[in-house]
Structure 1
Amino acid sequence: MSMLTQVDPYKPLALGTSQNRRVKLNTDAPFTPTYIQASLTQSGDPQGIYATRVKNRHIVLENPPRASNAQKEHDAKKARRESEKKRRKTGALGRRSTGAKGLWKLENGSEKFDLFLPLHQLWMGYMSELLGLWPPSSVPVAEAMPNASSMHPKLVKADFHGSLLTVRQSKNPCLVGLSGIVIHETENAFKLITRKDQLKLIPKQNSIFTLAVPLYSTLLRAQFEPAEAVSSALSGQHSGTVLDAPHIAFDLYGNQFCFRSADRAGRKFKAKETIEL
C-alpha cells in the first residue's frame, strides 16, 4: 500500500533565484507600471519612460469597423428627413414650393429699373457699413481705399441682392456687356433688371462679372452734415447708381461662385488660382 504525500498548493516556492520571485502587488504598486519598469533593464530611467510613453495612453487592440456605403446613405437620408421635419415645423417654404407657387416671379409691368433703384441704394448703404467706408470728402482718395485683403473675405460672403453687376466676359457673346441690378440670386444664376427695363437671367457658369462697390460711404450722418445737406441728399438719393460716383471694381468669376447666398455666408473660401475662360 503506497503512501500518498499531501502537497500544500498555497505554500511559497522554495526557489532562491531572483527570476522566480513572487511579486506582491497593491494599490501603491499596481501591475502595469511594476511590470514595465522591471522589464526595462537596459534603460537608466524606467520610471520616466513609463510616465511619458505608457501612462494614461490607450492602445486599440483591433481596427474599428468601417461604415459601409449603405450605412452612409441611410444616415444621409435620415439627416435629410430630420431637416425636412424641422423646416415643416417652422413653416418655411423650400425651393420647390417657392418655384411652384411663383413667389420669385415679378408681376406684369414691374420690370422697371427705376423701381429697384431704392433697393440698390439700400445695398450701397449695406456695403458702406460692411466694409467700413469713409464719409465722402473726409479723407483723400488714396487713404479712403480700403485694404483689399480685408475686403475679399467680406465680399465673398456678402448679399448681392441690390448690387449692380456687369458681364465683362462670357463664353456666350450675347451676354457680354449686360448690366443691371440683381433682384434674385440662385445657386447657378443671377436675375438682373437692366436699364432698358428688361429681366435677364445670367448663368454664373463660364461668365466673369464686374462688381462695383462705392469708394465712400453712402450712409447719411446727420451729426456731421448740416440739415440742408441731409434734406437734399434724401430728395435725390434714388437718382443714381454706384457707377455715378467714385467706386471700386472687382472681377467676380462665376465658375467659383456657384453657391447660394445663404450657403456662401457660412462657407470658408480658400485662395485659388483662377483659370481664364
Structure 2
Amino acid sequence: MSTSKPHIAQTLLSRAHSPDTAENLFAERIKQKPLYLRGTSPTPADNRSRRRLHRIRKKEYFLRHQKPKPLSAREKRQSGLYDLPKEECKYAIFKELNRMWVEYMCEILDLRPGAWRAQQQQQNQKGQQGPRPLVSALSHGSKLVSADFHGADVQVVRSRCAGRVGIRGIVVRDTKFTFVVVTEKDEVKTIPKEQSVFRFTVPLPQAKDTTESKDAMDGVEACEGTKELVFELHGSQFENRPVDRANKKFKWRNVDYL
C-alpha cells in the first residue's frame, strides 16, 4: 500500500481554513490553475546571436526593396557587354548608322533645306550686310563639342604615330580615350584619341531649287563648289565620354602638341 505525500499548499490551507474550505480553495485556485514558467535568462552569447539575426533580417528586407545594383566596370568586361561579335562587324551594316548620324548632325547644326534662306532674311531685316557663315564656332561650337560621334565616318589626318595616319572608318564605340572604328575592309581598329587629329564631314542637304542651293553654298566657309562641311577634331582635347560631354563646358586652349 502506497501513501502519497500531500501537497504543501494543501497542508498550509488546512491550517488556515476548515477542511471543506481548504479543499475547495486548493482545487479551484491551485490544482486547476495553469502554471506559467519563465524561461532561463539568455546568456551574452545568445543576445549576440539574436542581434546578429536581427541585422541579417533587416539587411535582407532592405536589399529586397531597393533597386538593382548597377554592374561595375569589371563585371561589364567579364560579361562581354563591350565585345563586338566578329560576324556583325561589317562596314555595310554600319553604313545605316552613319546615315542616321548625318541626319542627327544636320539637325543640331540647323542644316535643314531652306534654313540658310531664313537666316539671310533675318539678317536683312536687322540691316546686316555681308555673307554670314552657315556654321561658325560662336554659333555652333558648343553643339559640336557636345555631340555624339557614334556612327561618324572619321579619318586620322595627323598623329604622332605615323601608322595611324590614313585610317578611316565608322565609329562604333566612343570611349573616353579611344575611338573604335570599322574600316571598309571590315576590320575593327582601336585608335587612341591622344595626340591625334580626326577629320569628319557632314554632307549638306539638297535644296529644293538651284537658287536656294547657291545661297547656301555662298555661306559655307569652304572651297567653292563643295557639298560637304569638313571638321577636324583634336583628340587630346576630346578625352571625354559622350554622356559626360553633354553638360561639360569647354574652354579655348592652344594646340601645340602636333
TM-score by length of 1: 0.54
Corresponding residue number in structure 2 for 1:261: 242
Aligned length: 166
* Distance across 1 between alignment mates of 2:68 and 2:204: 40
From 97, 102, 107, the equivalent of 2:75 is 97
Unaligned regions of 5+ residues in structure 1, if any? Answer: 1-84, 219-223, 226-244
* Distance across 2 between alignment mates of 1:120 and 1:258: 22
What SS is found at the alignment partner of 2:236?
helix
Alignment of 1:171 onto 2:160: yes
Corresponding residue number in structure 1 for 2:25: none
Q: Which moved more, 1:100-109 or 1:199-208?
A: 100-109
How many angstroms does 1:135 deviate by?
1.6
* Distance across 1 between alignment mates of 2:114 and 2:153: 20
* Distance across 1 between alignment mates of 2:146 and 2:195: 21
Contact kept in structure 1, 2:101 and 2:151, CA below 8 Å: yes
Corresponding residue number in structure 1 for 2:147: 158
Corresponding residue number in structure 1 for 2:3: none
Amino acid at match of 1:98: K
Q: Deviations over 1:217-250 (max 9, x none)?
A: 79xxxxx89xxxxxxxxxxxxxxxxxxx821111
What SS is found at the alignment partner of 2:189?
strand
Alignment of 1:271 onto 2:249: no
Q: Deviations over 1:124-173 (max 9, x none)?
A: 1111111111328986xx77822332121101001100011100111111
Unaligned regions of 5+ residues in structure 2, if any? Answer: 1-62, 118-130, 210-225
Corresponding residue number in structure 1 for 2:192: 203
CA-based RMSD of the aligned residues comes to 2.9
* Distance across 2 between alignment mates of 1:162 and 1:214: 14
Contact kept in structure 2, 1:136 and 1:217, CA below 8 Å: no
Corresponding residue number in structure 2 for 1:29: none
* Distance across 1 between alignment mates of 2:144 and 2:72: 26
From 172, 180, 191, the equivalent of 1:191 is 180
* Distance across 2 between alignment mates of 1:214 and 1:124: 7
What SS is found at the alignment partner of 1:89?
coil
Contact kept in structure 2, 1:128 and 1:217, CA below 8 Å: no
Amino acid at match of 1:127: M
Corresponding residue number in structure 2 for 1:180: 169
Identity %: 36
* Distance across 1 between alignment mates of 2:186 and 2:230: 24
Q: What pairs up with 1:106-121 in 2 under 5 angstroms?
A: 106-121=84-99
Find runs of 4+ consecutive structure 1 residues off by over 6 angstroms: none
Amino acid at match of 2:254: E
Q: Per the alignment, do residues 155 and 137 of structure 1 end up closer, same or farther by CA in structure 2, a change over 3 Å counting?
A: closer
User: Which one has the largest radius of gyration?
Assistant: 2
Amino acid at match of 1:248: L
Alignment of 1:249 onto 2:230: yes
> Would you tell me which structure has more helix in proportion to its own residues?
2
